Amino acid sequence: MDLPPSDTISQHGYVRVAAARQKVALADPASNAKRILQLAGKAQDQEADVILFGELCLTGYTCGDLFLQPQLLKAAMKAFTEVVQYSEKWPHMALVVGLPWANGDKLYNVAAVVLGGVVKGIVPKSFLPNYSEFYEQRHFSPGFGVQGGWLESGPFQGTPFGTDLVFKWDPTDQRPFGFGMGIEICEDLWVPQAPSGFLAMQGAHLILNPSASNAVLGKAPFRRILATAQSARCIAGYVYASAGPGESSTDLVFDGDLMILENGSLLAQGERFHPESQMILADVDIAKLQTDRLRMKSFGQGLEPTIRYRNCCMNSNSVGDGPPKKRFYRVVDAHPFVPSEPSTLAERCHEIFQTQVVGLAGRVEKLNLERVAIGVSGGLDSTLALLVCAKVADRLGLGRSWIDAVTMPGFGTSSRTLANALTLMEQIKTGSARIDIRQSCLDQLKLLQHKPFGIDIQSMDLVGFMEALKTKQGQPDLVFENVQARTRTMLLMNRGFVVGTGDMSELALGWCTFNADHMSMYNPNTSIPKTLVKFLVEYAARQEFDGPIQKVLLDIVETPISPELLPFTHDGTFAQETEKTVGPYELHDFFLYHFLRYGASSEKLLFLARQVKFDKPWTENEIRHWLGVFLHRFATQQYKRSTLPDGPKVGTISLSPRGDWRMPSDLGSIPWF
């Protein structure tokens, strides 16, 4: 996707990595060097910061006893020297290439890191497979334990050599953050304690793995699981490039697998068994990884104290850190809380729904509750909470009449939501009640001597007041709204143990009335964002319930979101739609996810929002406006979140003050945004 001229991904914390493998010319280093440089040139054209090639890519992996022939080693060194010299043209892109390397009287399988015509370091393979189809110890010495070494001779004498190298970029003006890179080679990933774990704890945010992994039935998915898990365990980007076409087929076939992962997520993958050279690119979010590592206080504990890792400086001697990048090689999800793949979404909804049910069931059992009270509005949130209550009743064998469901129509209640609430309670077969709160609210407004919308109500009855309201449609009156919200909560709490209904998005924005819909004894929705609530209700309609209840549930899914606290219009449309007041939930949930989960700045939030396709094509001015609303409301509404009732954490993000989010309640604003 094209970027606006003002955006540079480096400033937002991204590093562009490439994984490549050329069609190997077996035992022909000169030809391999040409093909490697051709791919590197393409990576340079696409503004890559790092490009990784496969294991022993300069010679091919399947040379066998030819590795012990001095002529092949000399040819490999000559080809490598040409790569190093040519790389002077690319002062801002590091190349990682594999070759056999003699150091002293030992031959190693190594990955060499080259930047701007300089060899920054040589990393030998730690663990050599010598089982089944592999016999690397026949040719190479293991690199495990090789630390603090240097190349002893040759044109690159004095270059750092060992498994203790971390290649580090210091901050620059164009990249205002530093990051590190570590290397492990093929088998190193498959052992119980992979070198990448220690490298990550020493500051490597990128782990590169040049590999030669043959194709065996079932191996590819297992290999992906390993790489995915290691990227998550290390909180790192993991770049994997394996040998492919051109390798000997005497006994083995190599599929040329290419992968780029980030903290457990696959960013890009190549085409296995592709007959020609291939390259993939992705932008790894280093800033996000750094934030996660800061949050995870156990990260870095248990590092072997006897290992002293060395830092190799990767900053270029040329001015700046490369030109601003013009494209963004990364998919940004418009709805980060809602999986786009249907089967994944169904699986996620099932797990969340069961988590809600088990959480509430545990509370009910512990307290031996005779019944629970819940307000049912006919909207999404209360519907989801009611469905959870129904499944709790089924799970504990209590009978659904154990649920004291109450719908409380007020001045803004629509006929549609009221009908849906009544039908829902009837179909679920709850103990239910309908309480019209309008007279009670009018009495309280009189006691407060409040004039709603400027109307003098002291001598009015309910009929007269309803007539007067018809001329005040859509006008705001906070006291008028809050009286209704708190009346409902008072009536519920006087009936017993109250199950809450508000969701995490409302809590983030403070879109709830303090000590009204904000309060309950337990809230199963407390860590579920609004964009996901809709899919949970739809999931429940199709997977957990059947019969007539499905129809009403699906209608609730299609009902506009509204607190229904203001008078209705004459034509029957909502006078108060939430998203017209506080903003679209798809934007707010997008902001919430990246702000809370990864500490994204306002500039980065804007940058990310410009890269995605939302359900509605928001303009940049609209995105800026609603981002300002989000940040202001989030900063000023913490006092509501600080007094939240209990509720289950269902995802990686929660606003519970007891575990996940604490901040001053009187912050007022976030000036550093």
User: Which amino acids are annotated catalytic?
Assistant: 55, 125, 186
CA angle (28 as vertex; 75, 216 as ends), nearest 5: 125
Tokens 């000169």 label which residue? 30
Please check whether residue 98 is in contact with residue 210, taking contact to mean a CB–CB distance below 8 angstroms: yes
Tokens of 110: 């190594």
Alpha carbon of residue 656 to chain centroid: 19
Dihedral sign computed on CA atoms, order 594, 599, 602, 606: negative
What is the distance between the alpha carbons of residues 21 and 43, in angstroms, rounded to a whole number?
A: 12
Please check whether residue 538 is in contact with residue 441, taking contact to mean a CB–CB distance below 8 angstroms: no
Per residue, what are the HEC states of 449-509?
Answer: CCCHHHCCCCCCCHHHHHHHHCCCCCCCCHHHHHHHHHHHHHHHHCCCEEECCCCHHHHHH
To which H or E segment does residue 357 belong? helix 342-367
* Phi and psi based region of residue 221 (left: phi greater than 0; alpha: psi -120 to 50; beta: remaining): alpha
Tokens of 155: 């044109």
- Name the H helices within 376-457: 380-396, 415-428, 438-447
Instruction: List the beta bridge partners of residue 101.
Output: 108
Contacts of 562 (CB under 8 A, 6+ apart): 379, 412, 414, 574, 576, 577, 578
CA angle (92 as vertex; 86, 96 as ends), nearest 5: 65
In this structure, are strands 160-161 and 149-150 parallel, antiparallel, or unpaired? antiparallel
Tokens of 444: 């309280």
Burial zone of 547 (CB within 10 Å; 0-12 exposed, 13-18 middle, 19+ buried): exposed
E-strand stretches of 263-343: 265-269, 278-285, 310-313
Tokens 């370091």 label which residue? 121
What is the distance between the alpha carbons of residues 673 and 669, in angstroms, rounded to a whole number?
A: 9
Please check whether residue 207 is in contact with residue 230, taking contact to mean a CB–CB distance below 8 angstroms: yes
Contacts of 423 (CB under 8 A, 6+ apart): 548, 552
How far apart, in Å, are the Cα atoms of 90 and each of 11, 84, 94, 543, 572?
20, 10, 8, 56, 66
Per-residue DSSP letter, 145: T
Q: Would you tell me how many other CB atoms lie within 10 Å of the CB of residue 12?
A: 24
How far apart, in Å, are the Cα atoms of 588 and each of 528, 625, 664?
13, 11, 21
Nearest Cα neighbor of 511 from 487, 485, 475, 477 is: 485
Strand ranges across the sheet with 237-242: 265-269, 258-262, 237-242, 206-211, 179-183, 165-169, 310-313
Residue type, 493: M
C-alpha gyration radius of the chain:
31
Cα dihedral 541/542/543/548 (nearest 10): 60
To which H or E segment does residue 556 belong? helix 548-558
